[in-house]
């Protein structure tokens, strides 16, 4: 939500005006054209002054090794509904944060971890706190698909440990 709904809330402390830092969370992104049942679960750490720090827009670091690609079990019947899960555990001063994906209740793929991000200076490239900025932000859902690529969502359920970090009016 920071930077999208709350203007300026994505500013990277200690950096010049306009220097932002966000993490994009893709809980389910079906864009593997050569593998129609595979999907992506990924994180992207975006930073910089748009079109200044990096000419293409923002600088970014994505999940590379291992990648965010997830392959459901062979023989899965995709005419049936399935559960796609995402578990995010924020880092603390003493424990790593993590992101894990689940398919029908089973861990699928690898778990990505990071250390606590405490507004360290740029860049996130190669840092143990890469993606840790998400622990200071709020996530919103976008449910959509490409033209001519219909999909059906039966329900969306969200759980959280407590309301301590909720946004209020």
In a domain, 147, yes or no: no
Q: Structurally, how many domains does the chain consist of?
A: 1
In a domain, 120, yes or no: yes
In a domain, 145, yes or no: no
Tokens of 14: 């200690």
Task: Tell me the percentage of the chain whose pLDDT exceeds 70.
Answer: 97
CB atoms within 10 A of CB 59: 19
In a domain, 7, yes or no: no
Q: What is the mean pLDDT of the chain?
A: 89
In a domain, 144, yes or no: no
21 has a pLDDT exceeding 90: yes
Least confident range of 68-72, 100-104, 126-130, 141-145: 141-145
- pTM, rounded to two decimals: 0.88
The range of the structural domain enclosing residue 119 comes to 20-136
Closest of 25, 12, 16, 20 to residue 119, by C-alpha? 12
Q: From residue 65, how far is each of 13, 61, 70, 111 by CA, in Å?
A: 29, 12, 13, 12
In tens, the pLDDT along 66-125 reads 678 899 999 999 889 999 999 999 999 999 999 999 999 999 999 999 999 999 999 999
Please give the pLDDT value at position 148: 78
Taking the alpha carbons of 6, 113, 103, 35 in that order, is the dihedral positive or negative? positive
Task: Tell me the percentage of the chain whose pLDDT exceeds 90.
Answer: 57
Residue 169: pLDDT band (50, 70, 90) is low
In a domain, 44, yes or no: yes
In a domain, 13, yes or no: no
Please give the pLDDT value at position 165: 83
In a domain, 118, yes or no: yes
Please give the pLDDT value at position 11: 95
31 has a pLDDT exceeding 80: no
Residue 40: pLDDT band (50, 70, 90) is confident
Please give the pLDDT value at position 20: 96
Please give the pLDDT value at position 93: 97
């Amino acid at each position: 939500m920071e930077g999208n709904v709350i203007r300026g809330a994505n500013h990277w402390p200690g950096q010049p005006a306009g220097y932002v830092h966000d993490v994009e969370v893709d809980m389910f992104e079906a864009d593997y054209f050569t593998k129609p049942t595979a999907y992506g679960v990924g994180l992207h750490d975006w930073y910089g002054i748009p079109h200044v720090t990096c000419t293409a827009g923002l600088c970014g670091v994505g999940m590379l090794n291992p990648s965010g690609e997830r392959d459901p079990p062979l023989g899965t019947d995709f005419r049936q509904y399935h559960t796609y899960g995402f578990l995010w555990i924020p880092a603390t001063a003493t424990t790593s944060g993590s992101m894990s994906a689940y398919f029908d209740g089973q861990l699928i793929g690898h778990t990505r971890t990071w250390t606590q991000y405490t507004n360290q200076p740029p860049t996130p490239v190669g840092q143990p706190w890469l993606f840790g900025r998400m622990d200071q932000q709020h996530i919103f859902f976008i449910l959509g698909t490409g033209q001519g690529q219909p999909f059906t969502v039966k329900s969306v359920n969200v759980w959280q440990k407590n309301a301590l970090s909720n946004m209020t009016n």
